[in-house]
Amino acid sequence: MSDIVISLRDVTKRYGMSKVLKGVNLDIEKGEIYGLIGKNGSGKTTIFKTILGLSEFQGGTLFVGDEGDTLKQGRAKIGFFIGTHFFPYMTAKQNLKYYCKLKGVKGARAEINRVLEIVGLKDVKSKFKAYSLGMKQRLGVAAAMLGNPEIIILDEPTNGLDPQGIADVRNVLKKLNEEYGTTIVISSHILGELQNTAHRFAILNDGVIANVFSQEDLSVESEYEYIKLKSSDIQMAKEVLEHVGIEIQGEKKETVSLEDYYFNVVGGQENE
């Protein structure tokens, strides 16, 4: 059985008279990138704040961390990014030094260099107020990574970013997950973006999780099994396939994705 590191059972939460979470059930497995999808105001941030203990919940149960952990011990294993909260007149290093002190991270100097290297901000000397939005978001992700937490929660980390910024954050998250095995929970209302990043997804609708599905579910939704064929002579390739008895049941000309097209034009890259 896979390890569950975050589990919500019938969690309810209201702000005043308004019920925001109406019995949320959610299981997040160790080592996965999990995408929480929902329109603005659907309660994604509230779920995160509940998991982190920044917001009280009224009903249901919550488990965080590894087997035997108390809620406090489990929560200590989470790094998070919910909006950027940095001092504008300080550099990235100075800001992160502050967060190291706040979080009690040991060996701050080396740790700050490590996380800044991962997000590509190590050589930036300017103050936070001069950063582009993408740099600010990346510094937020870096702050969440301090102390190499087992779990990272990111609330809309690509919100307001341009395509290059979105690709940068996506690559950082993939690297973190693949190289460090970090479990990542990420919310977004940009579906195409989450599809490129997460292994599993949950749709939050009207205060409940309406659907949970995986990348595999998305790929088997298709009616046919299919392969992609790239050739200088498609007609000839089709004839060869038919000649050896392989029936072509359908064909679809693929268009270039908007993102690829954009990067072709502006010359940016997805720095894999």
3-state secondary structure of 175: helix
Least Cβ distance, residue 187 to ligand ADP (angstroms)? 7
Mind giving me the DSSP string for 41-101?
A: TSSHHHHHHHHHTSS---EEEEEESSTT--HHHHHTTEEEEES----TTSBHHHHHHHHHH
- The answer to whether 46 contacts ligand ADP (rule: CB under 6 A) is yes
To ligand ADP, the closest distance from the beta carbon of 156 in angstroms equals 7
Does the footprint of ligand ADP cover residue 43 (CB under 6 A)?
yes
How many residues bind to ligand ADP according to rule CB under 6 A?
10
13 binds ligand ADP per the rule CB under 6 A: no
40 touches ligand ADP by CB under 6 A: yes
Closer Cβ to ligand ADP, 37 or 118, answer by number: 37
Residues 6+ apart with CB under 8 A from 237: 229, 231
Residue 104 engages ligand ADP in binding (rule: CB under 6 A): no
CB of 128 to ligand ADP, least distance (A): 24
| DSSP 3-state of 271 | coil
Cα angle at 173 between 205 and 118, to 5 degrees? Answer: 150
Q: What separation in angstroms does the CA of 98 have from each of 92, 151, 212, 227, 267?
A: 10, 21, 38, 51, 36
The nearest distance, CB 137 to ligand ADP, in angstroms, is 16
> Position 243: which residue type?
H
Is residue 30 within 8 A of residue 17, CB to CB? The reply is no
Cβ within 8 Å of residue 122, ≥6 positions away = 113, 116
Q: Does 17 bind ligand ADP (CB under 6 A)?
A: no
**Would you count residue 20 as binding ligand ADP (CB under 6 A)?**
yes
If the CB atoms of residues 40 and 235 are measured against ligand ADP, the closer one turns out to be 40
Q: Which of 10, 15, 229, 231 binds ligand ADP (CB under 6 A)?
A: 15
Q: Does residue 41 touch ligand ADP according to CB under 6 A?
A: yes
> What are the tokens at 99?
């967060």
Stretch that binds ligand ADP, among 4-12, 40-48, 225-233, 253-261 (CB under 6 A): 40-48
Residue from 38, 79, 134, 147 that binds ligand ADP (CB under 6 A)? Answer: 38
89 binds ligand ADP (CB under 6 A): no
Binding stretches for ligand ADP (CB under 6 A)? 15, 20, 38, 40-46
